[in-house]
Amino acid sequence: MAETSTAGLTGTITIPGDKSISHRSIIFGAISTGTTTVKNFLRSADCLSTMQAFRDLGVNIDDQGDQVTLQGVGLTGLKQASAALDMGNSGTSTRLISGLLAGQPFESRLVGDASLSKRPMRRVSDPLSQMGAKIDSVNGHLPMTINGGSLAGIRYELPVASAQVKSAIILAALQASGPSTIIEPSPSRDHTERMLTAFSPKSIEKQGQQIVIHPGYDLQGQAITVPGDISSAAFWLVAGAIVPNSSITVKNVGINPTRTGILTVLEQMGANLTITNRQDQAEPSADITVTSSDLRPFEIGAEAIPALVDEVPLLALLAARANGISKITGAEELRFKESDRLQAISQEFTKLGITIEELPDGLVIDGRPSWHVANPNLDSYQDHRIAMTLKIASLLVDEPVTIKDFDSVRISYPTFLTDLAQLRS
Binding residues (CB under 6 A) for ligand S3P: these are: 20, 92, 162-165, 167, 188-189, 309-310, 333
CA distance 37 to 198: 13
Residue 39's CB: how many other CB atoms inside 10 A?
Answer: 13
Residue among 193 and 333 whose Cβ is closer to ligand S3P: 333
- Annotated catalytic residue 310: yes
Taking CA atoms, 103 is separated from 1, 132, 134, in Å, by: 49, 9, 10
First to last CA, the chain: 17
Residue 40 or 164 with smaller CB distance to ligand S3P? 164
Residues in the chain: 425
Whole-angstrom distance, CA of residue 94 vs CA of residue 100: 10
Minimum distance from residue 337 beta carbon to ligand S3P (Å): 6
* Residue (of 75, 89, 85, 79) closest to 412 by Cα position: 89
Instruction: For the CB of residue 52, give the shortest distance to ligand S3P in the complex, in Å.
Output: 17
Q: How far is the CB of 200 from ligand S3P (least distance, A)?
A: 19
Does residue 179 contact residue 215 with C-beta atoms inside 8 Å?
yes
Reference 245, options 292, 289, 288; nearest CA is 292
**CA 130 centroid distance within chain:** 27
Q: Considering the candidates 46, 56, 310, 340, report the single residue annotated as catalytic.
A: 310
CA distances (Å), 409 to each of 52, 79, 228, 415, in order? 19, 32, 16, 8
From the CB of 24, what's the least distance to ligand S3P, in Å?
Answer: 7
Specify the residue, 44 or 164, whose C-beta has the smaller distance to ligand S3P: 164
User: Are the C-beta atoms of residues 413 and 232 closer than 8 Å to each other?
Assistant: yes
User: Which residue, 361 or 366, has its beta carbon nearer to ligand S3P?
Assistant: 361
Min dist. Cβ of residue 165 to ligand S3P (A):
6
Q: Which is nearer to ligand S3P, 295 or 388 (CB)?
A: 388
Catalytic center residues: 310
